[in-house]
Amino acid sequence: MPKVATHTLSWSEEHNSYELYSQNQASAYQLQENDKRWHAWLSAHSAFAFHGRQGQLNLLKEARKNKGEGYWYAYRRQGKHTVKRYAGRSSELTIARLENIAHLLSQPESAGQKTEVPQNPEALKKPQETPQQLASVPQLPLLEAKLHAPRLHTPLIRRQNLLARLDAGLQRKLTLLSAPAGYGKTTLISQWIAHRQTDDDFPAVAWVSLDSGDNDPVRFWRYLITASQSFQQGLGEAALLSLASMSQTPIEPLPLEIALTNFLNALTHASAKGILILEDYHVISSEQIQHMMAFFLDHLPPTLHLVLLMRGEPSLPLARLRAKAELCEFSAADLRFSHEESASFLRQISNLRLSNDFIDELNMSLDGWAAGLRLLALAMQGSRSEQEREQILSAFTASSYPNAFSQARGAQQHSVAKLSRPSLNQRGEPVQGSRRLLQDYFVNEVFNALPEPLQSFLLHTCILKRLHGSLCDVITARNDSAQLLAELERRGLFLDALDEQGAWYRYHTLFAEAMQVRARQQLGENALQTIARTASRWYAAQNQLEEAVEAALLGQDFASAAALIERLSQAERLQELHEYYTLRTWLQQLPEDELRQHPLLCLNYATALLFTCPTDHIERPTLALLEKTLELAEQGFRAEGDRARLGIIFAQRALITWRQDEIVPARAYAQQALALLPADEARWRSVSMGITGISEMNMGRLSIARTRLLEARAIGEADEQNSDFIQTNINLLAWVCFEQGLLHETAEHYRQNLVMARARQNHSDMGHALLGLTQIFYEWNQLQEAQAAVAEVLALSKQIADEEFQIWGTIYQAEILHAQKQTSQALQLLAALLAHAQPHRLPLHYRQIQSAQARLQLANGDLSAIQHWLDNRFEPSLSLLLNQPEEEQMLVARWYLALDKPHKALEILEDLQEEARKAERIHTLFKLEVLLAVAYASNRQIPKARKLLLSVLTRTQAEGYLRLFLDEGEIMAALLQASKPYARARAVAAHIQTILQAFAQESIDLTASKSPALLEPLSPQELRVLRLLASGNSTPQIAQELVVSVNTVRTQVQSIYRKLNVNNRVAASEVARHLQLL
């Protein structure tokens, strides 16, 4: 970016307006919010500076291939880094949007700060915009008709008791209306809104009519956030920006919780309350959406009330909501029409005088089913006489007269006995079959009574999800469809208006389903496919490409569908929006012959499969489909000579095989990808280089792995949409650096990742970074900092219900407590953790808890605990975690040292030392060699112990290792004191002194000023014997306490006398007190 901008847009307090300055112009040009010349100016320029009321930005327009004018990006300096944020197209770059972005980027990315949207600042006010305009990020347009409640029909029954319950439900988080189709869920909520919306205290309402396409998680949240902007202009803009700017990585799932957290923050700080209504929530089957909705409900702010309309119950924590009195429920039993309501409804649509007994019988037959009454009303509208109406009513209720209706009409031969009261299930709801029979019977009666042109219109339009006059004109060859739709809606013929203008409509589900059955019978499948194809062409002409694709697929016009999807894919709009679920749903409907002609679609299909399947496992059917689509894509791209896309294919194969734990072929594929991919293909080059680094890491070549991961990070940073993969890469890089013993570099990586994770509210990366920093702080003996980090991990584990974070956080917390001489409390923590852990769900972690507990028990003098641990270790079917086998073998070696069997410990440790050296796992090697030095000293090989210890000190002093030595206790203090005169390097001697000072702070004063240290230190077991000896215990009592033989105790006592240069227990006690060994 230039240091001095050629053009600057600034807020002027003096003139109370925005002024556009240019270096070559003497005067400024004043702009207003809705000034059309501003967008024209943007189209003609490529860079400017913005100095607004919320902060300062530099903006640059970036052109892309086949994308026309290009997109604007905002830049701002934050500390040592420049932050980049997508701003939009020229037509979308309003001044309010610039102020919003300036506010977001002005927030410091400090350790504890979350980025939130402003609390309705005046600077963000802007003119009324449609929902599509408000969501001004690169995206497929949202269908505005889905964001409006259907218009109410008349006549309506005023259901005062239900309306009062809805009012009371506003005090709770969730209102759930759960009942089969036709029970008036939508009508009741619409009536409630119409009745209360003029009240000053009634919240603003947002409505989303869901369909099966909304199982795409990104699309689902785009609709919800955009709808919520009816509460407050600009609400959730930061969340929409997050959805647009976050990057999907095939290694980790799309971090949608970032956008969700931004949305919740915006709702929390919103100045106005709102009611968010989700109609037809039962169509949502995505587990990811259900999990996110549960999180959404858990953190729902008081400013928002959620209403769900659906059939059945949602996969949400309803039991918890009921227990907390946060749920208001309406079932089919609540929504049934009462006797009075049925009578009132029938009187409104009929002039007949109906007795109470007759209405009771009718209500029992329908079981209060509102749709049944409405169907009956429509059937009676088609009758010509009062006698005929009476016969219809009698036929419906009198199951003992099965021929009454057929005699009156002479056209239908239905058994009225079958039409009597519907069968009920255990919840008191009509069984689907009985409702369907009633539905089909009366719909057919209504349909047969209509004029033939109207029948034709209904049959030709019933397959459309939503109806528009122009669309229906094209399909039916009419020119009055808009007027006809308005008339049908006015007559209450199961048609709902979706907006106030009457432009969009939809058929009621029951009516549409019955009409579709009839259409298949009368028109045939070929005719319906032709209708769908015609609709697809209309949608495409309106640039409603999503609807065009779905209509083409419905019409089995696969060639057109493929062309439309390819048009979207080439523009990269779906990839930018991450709607991979939608892409996968479309492409899986195309036959293989059609896919074969479109290698780009095959590649996109593989990408969608890869990005929508679980990141930890790929099912066999999905794996086979991935291999097939990549093979088809490779054939096409080889024929075209497209090396770049061939490179993407090999990169995806590398990723697939890596996720299947096939390291060698993954590395080979990644290397092939790197040879083919162009330098500007940042995402897949970064992934491929990262996989080569991970492969080297798994093969034990950590130095090469570190180089490759650094290269992958550098490549990834060239793509602003790749930040999540960069974070994943940094976590891996930090682990490699830690294993190489590079504590300072490791800390820098974790700190950087923590800042990025906090800014994006990526809880997973936050947790990993905090756990990594806990290890670093612990190793530097910064126990307070370590305690603070692990406390945040444990709090985070509760917030996001992550059991792995809870386990590791508790293990590290126990280690910190032990270092603080609070071993009993540490053991209590681990015992509680072990009691609640489930070994078969997290087997490797369960075993890790067992090992941590045994290690502290041994340090606390409980030798029998190790034998118990060895006998009762949980044996998982999976391979142990990295480093876990060495840690367990080191624990066994410590046990042998405690038993005064250093030769057995040396056998284990020397083998592990060689393995760690070959694998370049330096941190593990340091731990082994420190323990090995202790073992040499215990085995009376003092020169060898000293030499090895000085070697470790030389290699660790620059990185500040402390707990590596402190955790070995008194014997290490004595060994360090004895080795100090042999330290030739000044830095090593200084480091020894630092460690000894740390020992002194832990109340173990072994400095030479008080007394000379032992040249041959006592083993841990000898220290235990000495303490018991000084306490006056006899040899048999000591043997019983330590669970060893009397002869073993005698041998150890003689060894103690020799090392302390005494010949009796009194003298031994005095020397021990002088050396502060007791």
Q: pLDDT tens digits, residue range 634-647?
A: 999 999 999 999 99
Q: What is the mean pLDDT of residues 228-238?
A: 85
CATH number at residue 469: 1.10.10
93 close to 72: Cβ distance less than 8 angstroms: yes
- For residue 744, the model assigns a pLDDT of 93
Lowest mean pLDDT among 215-219, 381-385, 476-480, 793-797: 381-385
- Say if 775 falls within a structural domain: no
Task: Provide the phi-psi class of 188: left if phi over 0, else alpha when psi is between -120 and 50, else beta.
Answer: alpha
Q: pLDDT grade, residue 116 (50/70/90)?
A: very low
For residue 196, give every residue at least 6 positions away whose Cβ sits within 8 Å of its Cβ, in sequence order, or none: 163, 167, 202
- Tell me which DSSP letter residue 582 carries: H
Q: How confident is the model at residue 816 (pLDDT cuts 50, 70, 90)?
A: very high
Distances (CA, A) of 193 to 335, 337, 498: 17, 20, 15
Same domain, 366 and 331: no
Based on the domain organization, do 279 and 307 belong to the same domain?
A: yes
- Single residue among 831, 858, 881 that ends a domain in this structure: 881
Pair of tokens at residue 657: 């095989």
DSSP 49: E
Q: Report which of 571, 574, 509, 578 is spatially closest to residue 546, judged by C-alpha positions.
A: 574
| Of 255-264, 659-668, 761-770, the least confident | 255-264
Contact assessment for residue 76 and residue 106, using Cβ atoms and an 8 Å cutoff:
yes
Q: Please state at what angle helix 469-476 crosses helix 481-490, rounded to 10 degrees.
A: 110
Are the beta carbons of 149 and 272 closer than 8 angstroms? no
Q: Is the pLDDT of residue 227 over 60?
A: yes
Residues 228 and 318 in one domain: yes
DSSP alpha helix (H) spans, 677-722: 682-698, 702-716
Q: Which of 367, 436, 354 is nearest to 394 (CA)?
A: 354
Q: If you average pLDDT over residues 684-697, what whole number do you get?
A: 88
Q: Are residues 313 and 343 in the same domain?
A: no
pLDDT category at 856 given cuts 50, 70, 90 is very high
- If one counts the domains in the chain, the total is 7
pLDDT at res. 135: 34
pLDDT value for 879: 58
Are residues 86 and 138 in contact, defined by beta-carbon separation less than 8 angstroms? yes
Average pLDDT for 106-134: 35
Computed over its alpha carbons, how large is the radius of gyration of the chain? 37
Residue 73 CA to chain centroid, in angstroms? 26
pLDDT at 1007 over 60: no
- Residue 764 included in any domain: no
pLDDT band at residue 594 under the 50/70/90 scheme: very high
pLDDT above 90: residue 960:
yes
* Burial zone of 806 (CB within 10 Å; 0-12 exposed, 13-18 middle, 19+ buried): buried
Question: Tokens 């060239």 — which residue?
Answer: 718
Work out the widest C-alpha separation in the chain, in whole angstroms. 126
* 658 assigned to some structural domain: no
Question: Which residues constitute the domain of residue 374?
Answer: 339-448
Lowest mean pLDDT among 1-10, 262-271, 643-652, 1042-1051: 1-10
User: Same domain, yes or no, for 429 and 490?
Assistant: no
Tokens 């902060």, located at residue? 55
Three-state DSSP class for residue 306: strand
| 1033 and 1065 share one domain | yes
* 755 belongs to a structural domain: no
Are 502 and 380 within one domain?
no
Residues 811 and 850 occupy one common structural domain: yes
Nearest C-alpha neighbor of 573 from the set 145, 140, 200, 254:
140
305, 168: one domain: yes
| Pairwise pLDDT comparison (643 vs 877), residue with the higher score | 643
What's the first-to-final CA gap in the chain, in angstroms?
68
> What is the pLDDT, as a whole number, of residue 311?
84
Give every CB contact of residue 988 below 8 A, 6+ residues apart in sequence: 950, 953, 954, 957
Residue 730, in any domain of the structure: no
Residue at token pair 């994308």: 67
Beta bridge partners of 47: 60
Q: Tell which residue, 263, 354, 325, has the closest CA to residue 300.
A: 263
The edge-to-edge listing of strands for the beta sheet with 17-22 is 29-31, 17-22, 7-12, 47-51, 56-62, 71-78, 81-88
User: What does the pLDDT look like over 563-580, one tens digit per residue?
Assistant: 999 888 765 444 555 678
What is the spatial distance between Cα 1031 and Cα 1052, in angstroms, rounded to a whole number?
16
Which amino acid type is present at position 102?
A
pLDDT of residue 426: 42
- Of the candidates 553, 557, 627, 536, the one whose C-alpha atom is nearest the C-alpha of residue 587 is 553
Lowest mean per-residue pLDDT among 191-195, 303-307, 473-477: 191-195
Q: Which of 132, 166, 196 is the last residue of a domain?
A: 132
Q: How many of the other CB atoms lie within 10 Å of CB of 1046? A: 13
Q: What pLDDT does residue 32 have? A: 64
Q: Are 404 and 373 in contact (CB under 8 A)?
A: no
What is the rounded average pLDDT of the residues 488-504? 77
| CATH for 236 | 3.40.50.300
Residue positions counted in the chain? 1078
Q: Are both 173 and 315 inside the same structural domain? A: yes
Percent of the chain at pLDDT > 90 equals: 32
Which residues are CB-neighbours of 732 under 8 A, at least 6 positions away?
690, 693, 694, 697, 709
Q: What type of residue sits at position 926? A: F
**Is the domain of 412 the same as that of 329?**
no
Give dist(CA 780, CA 771) in Å, integer: 14
Verify that 288 and 388 share a domain, yes or no: no
Whether the CB-CB separation of 142 and 226 falls below 8 Å is answered with: yes
Domain membership flag for residue 739: no
Give CA separation, 297 vs 167, 276, 279, 328, 403, in Å. 19, 12, 17, 14, 54
Neighbours of 1003 (CB within 10 A): 8
Least confident of 218-227, 683-692, 868-877, 920-929: 868-877
Of residues 378 and 712, the one with the higher pLDDT is: 712
Q: What is the CATH number of the domain that holds 1055?
A: 1.10.10.10
Q: Helical H runs in 717-782?
A: 723-739, 743-760, 763-779
The partner residues of 86 in beta bridges, in order of sequence, read 73
* pLDDT tens for each residue of 384-422: 566 666 666 665 554 322 232 233 233 333 333 333 334
Tokens standing for residue 472: 């229906």
Condensed to tens digits (0 to 9), the pLDDT of residues 139-188 reads 567 788 888 888 776 656 778 888 999 999 999 999 999 887 778 888 88
Which residue from 153, 865, 169 is spatially nearest to 508, judged by alpha carbons?
153
Helix-, strand-, coil-residue percentages of the chain, each rounded to 5: 60, 10, 30
Of 940, 936, 970, nearest to 950 by C-alpha is: 936
Q: Name the E strands within 759-855.
A: none
Please give the structure tokens belonging to residue 888: 């367990």
Lowest mean pLDDT among 374-378, 493-497, 632-636, 1019-1023: 374-378
Mean pLDDT of 941-959: 94
Q: Does residue 667 fall inside a structural domain?
A: no
Lowest mean per-residue pLDDT among 297-306, 492-501, 866-875, 949-958: 492-501
Task: Assess if residue 810 is contained within a domain.
Answer: yes
DSSP run (H or E) holding 278: strand 274-279
The tens digit of pLDDT for each residue in 1048-1062 reads: 888 888 888 888 877
The confidence score (pLDDT) of residue 212 equals: 86
Query: At 878, is the secondary structure helix, strand, or coil?
Result: coil
**Which pLDDT does position 281 carry in this prediction?**
94
The residue from 286, 314, 335 where one domain ends is 335
Strand order in the sheet with 467-468: 467-468, 504-507, 495-497
Mean pLDDT taken over the chain: 80
Q: How open is the CA angle 733-735-740, to the nearest 5 degrees? A: 95
For residue 557, is pLDDT > 90?
yes
Q: Is the confidence at residue 1, as pLDDT, over 70?
A: no
pLDDT confidence of residue 682:
82
* Phi, psi for 11 (deg, rounded to 5): -85, 130
Model pLDDT for residues 444-466, shown as the tens digit of each residue: 666 777 788 888 999 999 999 88
Buried b / exposed e along 160-181 (16+ C-beta atoms within 10 A): eebeebbeebbebbbbbbbbbb
